[in-house]
Amino acid sequence: MIPVREKSLPELKKLAEEIRTKILETVSRNGGHLSSTLGAVDLIIGMHAVFDVKKDPFIFDVSHQAYAHKLLTDRWERFDTLRQFGGISGYTNSKESPYDYYKAGHSSTSISLAVGAAKAIHLKGEDRIPVVMIGDGSMSAGMVYEALNELGERKYPVVIILNDNEMSIAKPIGAISRTLSKGMAGPFYQKLKKKTESLLEHLPEGATYIAKKFEESLRLITPGILFEEMGIEYIGPIDGHDLESIIETLKIAKAMSKPVIVHAQTVKGKGYKIAEGPLEHWHGVGPFDVETGKPLKKSSSTKSATQIFSETMQEMAAVDEKIVGVTAAMPGGTGLSPLLERYPDRFWDVAIAEQHAVTSMGPLAKEGFKPFVAIYSTFLQRGYDQVIHDIALMDLGVTFAIDRAGIVGEDGETHQGAFDISYLRPIPNMTLLAPWNEESMKKALRFAAAYPRPLALRYPRGAFLAEGLTEVGEVPDYELGRAHLLLEGEEILFVGYGNGVGRALKTAELMDGWKPGILDLRFVKPLDEALILDLAKRYRRWFVFSDGARLGGVASAIEELFAREGIMNVEMASFEYDDTFIPHGKTVEVERSLGLLPEQLARRIARIMDDAS
């Protein structure tokens, strides 16, 4: 533990430089979040200088900006394992360190967590105070305001540091505002405010008009009016890289013993000139050369599933004006950026507001448009009620284009796309399909564009596993509930769903002495019951390949059909994910740990078949 509270201001400034250097060196080798975490270094040092991390809950929203916190809390020597399999997480993780109060990876949860922590502290009668760091982007989600609404009413002591790195919350209005805002961090403004409030309480009713107008005017020319109206004290904006100002302001906020927002303006990428500023590319990076900023690993010539989605959507949108789309703060990650630029009236980024994104597409479908919700599997979880209540219940033709389905690698537990099949399959009116290569992806999207009911199609991060494999015949057009037998076999049937088809094909290549049939299931809801029941007569051992959770997943759907039809002769093994959260690390290393690489699967199947002989 670095004794931050014992260091002088010059020592803290030197420490900030050392931390930035350490982060830059590590992220340039391992990849990870860069610009946001570099910009938060000074604020995090200020948090540690004023608050006691051994007892005060330190709560980081999303927590991708918390690398400095990790370095200050006993992880300096292990920091070179950042985001590697078996190494430290790229997010806060309470199993990793007692100084990480909560696991986090999704946005806009921090203030709710702080309210809960404050309630517990109050009930226990302890002298502790939750301190939150939240970015301006996270402030776009409604959950933040639900939490602020209660906090402003209950007045629990909580200090919220608003890390505004793009001035997207509030821009100071002229020199007067800047001067007043700086003054708000000091005792003069706080005393003036208290005296004004006291004056309003004691003046006769007719004499309060001028005093009240003075107070309102003072607040109106500062950016904190929204928070003040919710009952939250506001201080700022302050310079989020001025350590002296940060520490002084946080001490004031801590001493107020009430909910306070400290608005700090920072620069993304601070300390690394190439990455400074609101540049999306530097938010999350792979390994790169520090001197030039260029990636160390050349990008693959194989198209990613996201790229195929983007290109196909552009082709379809160019000829069909009814096609519209939405994303929740991930236009680059989902491939919608070109569509937002080309068709700004038909494609929208609604910020970190997954619930709103889902619900807002319902009326567009009702009005005759064809909406696509481009979203990561892990983030669609945040709009689950809206999928049920506002889309499926109305039986509206909204398509959910689910990116990052399956294992996503270094982002780990909070981001693995393991659950979308399981949580969508029980919803009435919902159709689920999954392509497995470029051709099937294009045909799946064209099917979706013409389909008038709720539909979800999933695809992986990066390239499909099947890309580059030997051609197995033409991919037919999609027909509702129709599977496709890719290869005939003997005795063994490999059932692939989505990217699982590629895994099945790769595994089949390694099956010496066995010739498995390969089924592209295509739809897990509705199933191709006629073909499945026919195949049950011809293949006695089935192996299911799908990048999703076992519980409620693909094998479960087939087993339910067999149970209903009384099919007893098929023995089935599933290679879906076990009932556990999947750790972070390079995808191949994570899959190896789970026994899901093709060579591992081939050995497992061979053992099963040998034992059965």
Best CA proximity match to 456, nearest among 517, 372, 578, 519: 372
- Cβ of 225: how many Cβ atoms within 10 Å? 15
- Is 522 among the catalytic positions? no
In this structure, is the dihedral angle defined by the CA atoms of residues 212, 215, 216 and 217, taken in order, positive or negative?
positive
Contact 386, 328 (CB under 8 A): no
- Is residue 346 within 8 Å of residue 323, measured between CB atoms? yes
C-beta of residue 167 within 8 angstroms of C-beta of residue 265: yes
Q: Identify whether 354 is a catalytic site residue.
A: yes
The secondary structure of 342-397 as a DSSP string is: H-TTTEEE--S-HHHHHHHHHHHHHTT-EEEEEEEHHHHGGGHHHIIIIIITTT--
Could you say which of 96, 215, 354, 410 is catalytic? 354
Token couple for 3: 């004794």
Question: Under DSSP, is residue 304 helix (H, G, I), strand (E, B) or coil?
Answer: coil
Closest CA to 568 of 605, 608, 536, 542: 536
Strands (E), 454-515: 455-458, 484-487, 491-497
Residue 140: φ, ψ to 5°: -85, -5
Asked if 443 and 468 count as a contact pair (C-beta separation under 8 A), the reply is no
**Of these residues, 20, 182, 370, 382, which one is catalytic?**
382
Nearest to 448 by CA among 543, 566, 557, 309: 309
Residue 433, classed as helix, strand or coil, is strand
For residue 454, cis peptide bond before it (omega within 30 degrees of 0): no
Catalytic residue of the set 20, 83, 182, 268: 268
Please tell me the distance from the alpha carbon of residue 607 to that of residue 603, in angstroms, as a whole number: 6
Helix 187-202 × helix 174-183 angle, to 10°: 90
CB atoms within 10 A of CB 296: 11
> Does 78 participate in catalysis according to the annotation?
no
Question: Residue type at 330?
Answer: M
DSSP 281: G
Classify residue 470 by burial, with Cβ atoms within 10 Å: 0-12, 13-18, 19+.
exposed
C-alpha 269/C-alpha 566 separation (Å) is 61
Residues 386 and 357: their CA atoms lie apart, in Å, by 9
The set of catalytic residues is 268, 354, 382
